[in-house]
Structures are given as structure tokens and as C-alpha cells.
Amino acid sequence: MEMAMTAIDVHRALVFPNCIRKFRKQRNVGSLLELSERLPVITYIRLSKIERGEIFARAGELRDIGRALGVDPARLLIDVDDPAFDIAEWAETLQGAVIPDPEAERRAVLLAAAVRARRGADPALTIAVLESEYGIAPVVLSRIENALKPLDRWNEDVRAALRRVFDVANDAALMAHIEALRSEGKLDAVLPLVANPELRLAKSRARIGALRQELERPAPPASAETVAPAKAAAPEPVAEPSGEGLRLLPVFGTPLADGLIAFTPTGAVVEAPRNAGPRAYGLRLGRPTLGAGLPGRATLVVDPDRYPATGGLAVVREEGGLRVLSVTADRQGRMLGYSESPDLEFAIDTLDPADVAAVLSAVFE
């Protein structure tokens, strides 16, 4: 199977275009930082990813961005099928001109196909197993399987994990094995799925269409859908009538399976520390997921506007709920998060910062 993948194809496979940059320039909002200052509910990092097309904005975020720019939020969406739209030109304004490296792109696509084929042939080689037993975080796996870069551009930890997955001694042996798989036709079924621009454009069409429909409906009060649980704006803190300056925060938290916590109101309140931000809230653990030192009856004060520090605690948002982690760093300076029950490890640096919040304090009942 012949492969001809240009740098433009890679752009087409990886970006979700929008018009934010165009309207920012039209409205004389010279920098993304200036726009970020008008949008306190969206972190600068997330806003940057949205403008660069790395992630899709939520409908509430589009409304907030449109309000900050004085434009109908629906106009921020691009019609990828418009004959006047050139995605390569759009990408170049944000990322600069791309110098094609066909051989590097070919190696990245082959690696992606080989990993997909390996996982497809072994049902036990799940995303969870690759993370827990091989140290390949889900976000890294996604980038590998979407041909972000060839083997030689991944760090040694990732390359070592991939060598273990394929049971080879070194990088040269791994690439030789992958080339052999291709020559034998064993990658033919998955190659069309890797970094396929048409598949990604189809996904873009569907997501953009869904966003347009959502934007046509009346906006919820205060753009409530702008943020999700770990970054959610909790109900307004309750003022304490008899204590001048005392601030109480609503407490959320119902224990779920696998150590997760649902973001559901408990009706309780907890006193806010002096350094708590305006969107801080209380989170009841429900179970001692970090060991006996932090019992299940403990309530944490979580600030979604602060990023965790080594030696502290973090709350991260997953698809099924919230998870509390203890934070440390390895010898390379990478921030890691741990849970004892269940026994899990997360590479916090690889998570979307919008999904990570700092724990300011703990209250023990």
C-alpha cells in the first residue's frame, strides 16, 4: 500500500478550524492574553488551544468568546466545505509555514498503524493496561495513534514502553519490525484510519453542526455550560450573617465506583480559606482513596483557578467524575498524580489544565 502524506494532510488531520483569530484582529484585540483577560471563566491555556484549533470549544465558551469580541458566536464557526476556505492557509496563520518531511511523516504513520494493529490483535492490551503496565498515558497513546510524530522524536520513556509493547531490544529493531509488518500487508487494514484527513473533516463537520444547533437554542443563564465539573462554577458562596468576613462554600460529592466522585450537591457548607478564589468549592471524598491519612469523611476545598503544586493534592476531571490525587514529581521534573485506592498513576502534565484543580485545604469531621 503506497502512502503519500504531505504536511498539509497532517494539518488537515489535526486541526479544528475556527474564526476566533480573525475576529480578534478585526476587533483590535491585539493579543490572546488581552482576550483572556476578558474571559475569566476560560483559562489562557484552554483559550489558546481553542484558537489554534487543537480542541473544540463548548457552546458556552463560544458564547463567552463571542460576547467578549462583540460577535455572534455562530460566526466563530467555520464551514469546512466552503470553497473559499483553505485549511492549509488557515493553519499557516497560526503555526507558520510547514516544511514537508515526507519520510518523517511516513514513519509516524507506520508507527501509528502498528500500534493500532497491535492493540486490535490483543483485546487484553487496553488503554488502561498500556497506562498502568507500560506507562503510556492515554493522551500520549492518542498522539501516537494519530501519527503526531515518528518514533525517534518521542522521549526515551515512550520509546522504551513501545519496545516493550512489541518485545524488541532497540529502536532499530522496532522500526524494522514495523516495516516488516507493512511489507507483509498486516497494516493495510489500519493504515487508512491513521491521520486520515477525510475522517477528521467528517468529525469536524459533525461537531460544528452540533455546535450550530446548540447555539441556536436559548443560552442557559450565565453560560452555565461553559465549564464542566472540575472547573465548574459552584453555586454562589453562602454569606454567614453572624461572622463578619466569614465565607462559606457549598460542598459537593457523592462517591462513585473506581474512586471517582460525582459533582452533586450535599447541602453542606465548608469555610473557605483566605486564599480561596471566587469559584472555590468543597468536595467531600466519601472514600479514603489516598489512604488512611485522608479519610472518607474529609472535605477538601478545591480551587479550579489554581494549578496544583508538588507535595499537595489535585482534583482532576475524568469522563465519569472527579478524582483526587496526591501530587509529586519524578527525577525529570514531570508532575505525577497518585491514588492509592484504586492504585493509579497519572501524568498531570499531559492533562488539559482546564481539567486540573488545586486543593487548598482539608477539613476533617
Class of domain 102-195: mainly alpha
Rounded-to-integer distance, Cα 230 and Cα 304, Å: 7
C-alpha cell at 113: 498503524
**CA gap 137, 128 in Å, rounded:** 9
Please indicate whether the domains covering 102-195 and 229-363 agree at the CATH topology level. no
Q: What share of the chain is helix, strand, coil (3-state, %, to 5)?
A: 45, 20, 40
Cell of 42: 476560560
Q: How far apart are the first and last CA of the chain?
A: 64
User: Quick check: bond before 342 cis, omega within 30?
Assistant: yes
Rounded CA gap, 112 and 122, in Å? 16
252 and 234 in contact (C-beta within 8 Å)? yes
Counting as low any pLDDT under 70, the low residues of the chain are: 1-15, 87-88, 91-100, 195-200, 203, 220-245, 331-332, 365
C-alpha cell recorded at residue 64:
463567552
**Do residues 224 and 234 touch, judged by C-beta distance below 8 A?**
no
pTM for this predicted structure? 0.47
Distance CA 49, CA 66 (A): 16
- What are the structural domain ranges in the chain? 102-195, 229-363
C-alpha grid cell for residue 347?
Answer: 501524568
- Locate 114 and state its grid cell: 502498528
The Cα–Cα gap between 274 and 271 comes to 9
Homologous superfamily (CATH) for 229-363: Umud Fragment, subunit A (2.10.109.10)
DSSP 154-213: S-HHHHHHHHHHHT-SSHHHHHHHHHHHHHTTTTTTTGGGTT-HHHHHHHHHHHHHHHHH
